[in-house]
Amino acid sequence: MGIEYHNAMDIGISVGKCFPVCVFAILTLGAAFPVSAASPPVAGLKSGAASLGVFPLADGGYGVRVTLAGRAVFSQLSPVAIGRVGSDGVETWSAGSYGVVTASGGDLVCKGVTGTAAGTQFQVSDTYHALAGQGAFTMTRRVEIATPGAEDKGFNSRFSLSPSDPAALADEDVFAPGVWYKDNAHVPKGALAGSRGDSEYLFREDRLPLPLVMTRDRRSGVTLAVAHLDGVPTTFAGENGLSRIIDARMQFGALGVQNMVRPSPEFVFPGMEGERSYIAGPAMDGKRWAYRSHPVAVGVAHRYRLLIQVGRTPDFSAAVRRTWRTVYDLYKPSTVHADLKKCYKDGMELLSAVTQPYDGVVTVPFAATVPDGKVSDTSSQMGFVGQALPSAALLLRYGFETNDVDTISRATQVVDFWAKNSLSPAGIPRTWYDNHPGGAVTWRDYHTFLRVASDGLDGALRAWSIAHAHGQDHPEWLIFCRAYGDWLAQAQNPDGSWAREYDFTGHAVNPATDTTDQPIAFLADLFRATRDDKYKQAALKAGEFSWKSVHLAYAYVGGTPDNPNVMDKEGGMQALAAFLSLYDLTHDRKWLAAASQAAWYSETWVYCWNIPIPDGDPKALYPQNRTTVGLSLIAAGHSGADNYMAAAPYYYYRLSRLTGEPHFRDLARMLLHNTKQMTDWDGVLHYARPGLLTEALNLPPPRGHGTPFWLPWLTVAILDPMTRLQDTYGAMDIDEIEKTPKRERLRRDAGYTSMNNQN
């Protein structure tokens, strides 16, 4: 039993192919129609301090308004928004109010009807439901077609909310995971949301690790998040290109911000993209639209559920955490369990198989092809994607574990070579070499990046620790590590920073200091190995600089050498490792807070919903029946994804132990298992070696395409957290660790680094 309120309003607007820019100032701006901000709602819902209600418009229809602590913050006067594509390819949008509102069963059911000149009638029914105590509501929409007109070929539907008070995009921080953070100051030219001057920002939701967008008014702290819930974003092989595609098989939406008058979070279904897109095709002034619509036909309908969440947060970081966590919990990403012991063995055996003499030098080669596993590049890079020294440390550990003298010998030879040969006359390590017949090598004219050198020397230090724990003394390895530590201490700027990139004389080539956090964990470990206080002091000085430039600025950029000064997830993970190591040095919870913020940021690059790979595409490198949950976007400026977050479980699990946040434990468990789906641990992928995996994939079109190459970093990312979990907690499976007595886990929490565990 319910109460019904009746009336209707309908506005038809012909906008042709420029529809997004032309129409949505009218569709989303609350002040576009004569209605008082104080108009009382005729029916409403409450969730915490937030309320959502419908209210009468001056000309008889009903709009929707959201209030926070009794104050109107967002509204929409034309919630019934349908775009119609005619036979001429022109899209005409009808924007109208609700005509019937029913308050029944604790929900609001709002209905509207809009028609076209060709005779099609669209019936829209929106059911609003309150989520108790979360400042959040869901809207379940159903759009059905009655009497389709012959000249109507396609359609889209849309929902958005606008700020009730005047606002500009310059007043807003925006969060769209993996795409937009705050003002997006650190994205490359041409990136989605790379310009504040666009009128429309719509992103296909398969680009987003969770399908959500959130705005936060910097002046008031008021936030609005819109998310697509229960999404199953299917498409078909060949869905690509900028031409409009009209096909019912596309079940993905688009999320973003309309920026005509007031910045308005929005959802469009199916997911057209613009004013910028990574879909290939001609662009005008760097802008392009990729149009997607559904056919106007009997039986074709829209059914989707949206989250609407409002709140007020003290800063952007808190807003990201709240929004992401809400949508994450509603999606409940599942853990797909893998045989971790087999994955560990497969990875170690792959490293052992490829680490062989090439032209007389035992080398961890740079690349192999997938699926045959043939080595295709015998050059060697000490860290970053080449990971030669971390690979050698892992292989050395495995050799001792299995009592394999040959494995120990080959791993030792790898570290020996780098320790004896890589330091330049200035004392800075050279990081990449090519080998030649007869055992000769040439060092590439590849500048020394902090990331590459710190990865490599961290591997060398871990190798020294492992060998030392097994009774083998390699003082030359520790001397090698100290040489890099000494150079870092000497080259450190007075403010605690380092340049991003140096030449072999130690001269700064790229003076940007945004990667200062990258050597911190190495320096902390070097201090533990040597007890030389200068390494600790260098780490702390770098930490103080990074606290301001990374943590307070929310600027996790430049994590990779090949994508400088660009926002990326590796920048977040480098910060997480650095701040956690500083906490272990000092037990100052300031560093734990910084590590937690970096962890929340890094997590937002992880796909926590499944993006189905279309069947029937022979170029797809990933099978349709494998989940993509656990893969992660790489960096701003493109939508490539990889398996990098395989490296994260140890850090997230330790963080959960230190902060008492069970979410970090659950994420660690999911990442520990799901990232193994990239390997052939169960034989489904038919790789020559089960430990192989490909370096990167596309999850937006062309879905499942990628790079059919294995690089050492892929296997190091899988193995390193497993060995650290084993060394610290006595098992590599978090479920097994959680079964140990609480007192034992507390005792083991003190063991953070390989240095603590091996000595």
Q: How far is Cα 125 from Cα 233, in angstroms, rounded to an integer? A: 22
Going through 288-419 in order, the beta strands assigned E by DSSP cover: 292-295, 302-312, 356-358, 361-363, 367-369, 375-377, 380-381
* Contact call for residues 27 and 160 (beta carbons, < 8 A): yes
Count CB atoms within 10 A of the CB of residue 723.
22
Respond yes or no on whether the N-terminal peptide bond of residue 275 is cis (omega within 30° of 0): yes
Q: Is the pLDDT of residue 664 over 70?
A: yes
Our CA angle for 17, 23, 25, nearest 5°, is 145
Listed residue (312, 320, 209, 310) closest to 255, CA to CA? 209
More confident residue, 16 or 725: 725
Query: What does DSSP assign to residue 256?
Result: E
Pairing of the two strands 212-217 and 222-229: antiparallel
Q: Do β-strands 292-295 and 245-246 pair in parallel, antiparallel, or remain unpaired?
A: parallel
Does the pLDDT of residue 29 top 90, yes or no? no
Question: What pLDDT is recorded for position 196?
Answer: 87
Residue 395, pLDDT > 80, answer yes
Does the pLDDT at position 744 exceed 60?
yes
**Pairing assessment for the beta strands 91-97 and 180-182 based on DSSP bridges:** unpaired
Amino acid at 105: G
What is the distance, to the nearest Å, from the Cα of residue 118 to the centroid of all Cα atoms in its chain?
44
Nearest to 382, CA basis, from 448, 305, 335, 322: 448
Higher pLDDT, 163 or 92: 163
Buried b (16+ CB within 10 A) or exposed e, 10-47: bbebebeeebbbbbbbbbbbbebbebeeeeebebbbeb
* CATH top-level class of 3-331: mainly beta
Residue 31 has pLDDT above 80, yes or no: no
Q: Give the pLDDT mean for 410-418.
A: 98
Return the residue matching tokens 């990074």: 546
Residue type, 649: P
Q: What was the pLDDT predicted at 623?
A: 86
What is the mean pLDDT of the segment spanning 274-293? Answer: 83
- Tokens 């997938």 correspond to 370
Instruction: Write down the domain spans for the chain.
Output: 3-331, 340-758
Phi, psi of 742 (to 5 degrees): -55, -40
- The length of the chain in residues reads 759
Residue 459 in tokens: 């591997």
Contact between 591 and 578 under an 8 Å Cβ cutoff? The reply is: no
For residue 562, pLDDT over 50 is answered with: yes
**Cβ neighbours around 48 below 10 Å, total:** 17
Dist CA 511 CA 236 (whole Å):
46
CA angle 182, 183, 189 (to 5 degrees): 130
Q: Which two tokens stand for residue 100?
A: 């019937």
Q: Give the relative orientation of helices 712-729 and 649-659 as an angle to the nearest 10 degrees.
A: 30
Phi-psi label, residue 336: left if phi above 0, alpha if psi -120 to 50, beta otherwise: beta
Cβ contact 617:704 at 8 Å? yes
330 within 8 A of 86, measured Cβ to Cβ: no
Q: At residue 59, does pLDDT exceed 90? A: no
Q: Which CATH architecture has domain 340-758?
A: Alpha/alpha barrel (1.50)
Q: What is the pLDDT of residue 81?
A: 97
Between vectors from CA 463 to CA 460 and to CA 466, what angle results, nearest 5°? 155
Contact 108/280 with Cβ under 8 angstroms?
no
CA–CA separation, 122 vs 15, rounded Å?
19
pTM equals 0.94
Angstrom distance (rounded) from CA 527 to CA 522:
9
Output the pLDDT for position 60.
84
Residue 606 has pLDDT above 80, yes or no: yes
Neighbours of 345 (CB within 10 A): 16
In 3-state terms, what secondary structure has residue 503?
coil
φ and ψ at residue 54, rounded to 5 degrees: -100, 155
pLDDT at 741: 86
Token pair of 564, please?
A: 């400088």
* pLDDT band (50, 70, 90) for residue 751: low
pLDDT in tens, 673-703: 999 999 999 999 999 999 999 999 999 999 9
Kindly tell me the sign of the dihedral angle through the C-alpha atoms of 613, 619, 621, 625.
positive
Q: What digits encode the pLDDT tens for the residues 191-217?
A: 999 998 999 999 999 999 999 999 999
**Type of residue found at 186:** H
Give Cβ neighbours of residue 587 (< 8 Å, ≥ 6 apart).
Answer: none
Count of beta carbons in the 10 Å neighbourhood of residue 170: 9
DSSP string, 12-54: EEEEETTHHHHHHHHHH-GGGS---TTPPPSEEEEETTEEEEE
Residue type at position 551: H
Output the average pLDDT for the chain: 92
Task: Using alpha carbons, list the distances in angstroms from residue 233 to 120, 202, 409.
Answer: 26, 16, 50
Q: Are 731 and 349 in contact (CB under 8 A)?
A: no
- The beta strand positions in 168-278, using DSSP E, are 172-176, 180-182, 200-204, 212-217, 222-229, 245-246, 254-258, 264-269
Each residue's pLDDT tens digit, 489-504: 999 999 999 999 999 9
Q: Which residues pair with 377 in a beta bridge?
A: 367
The DSSP code sequence of 675-721 is GGGGTTTTSSS--SSTT---SEEESSSSTT-EE-EE-HHHHHHHHHH
Report how far residue 132's alpha carbon sits from residue 544's, in angstroms, rounded to the nearest whole number: 41
pLDDT band at 563 (very low <50, low <70, confident <90, very high): confident
Q: How far apart, in Å, are the Cα atoms of 747 and each of 41, 690, 732?
A: 58, 36, 17
Q: For residues 101 and 55, give the distance between their C-alpha atoms in angstroms, rounded to a whole number.
A: 10
Coil, strand or helix: which one is 91?
A: strand
H or E segment to which residue 316 belongs: helix 316-331
- In contact, 519 and 535? CB cutoff 8 Å: no
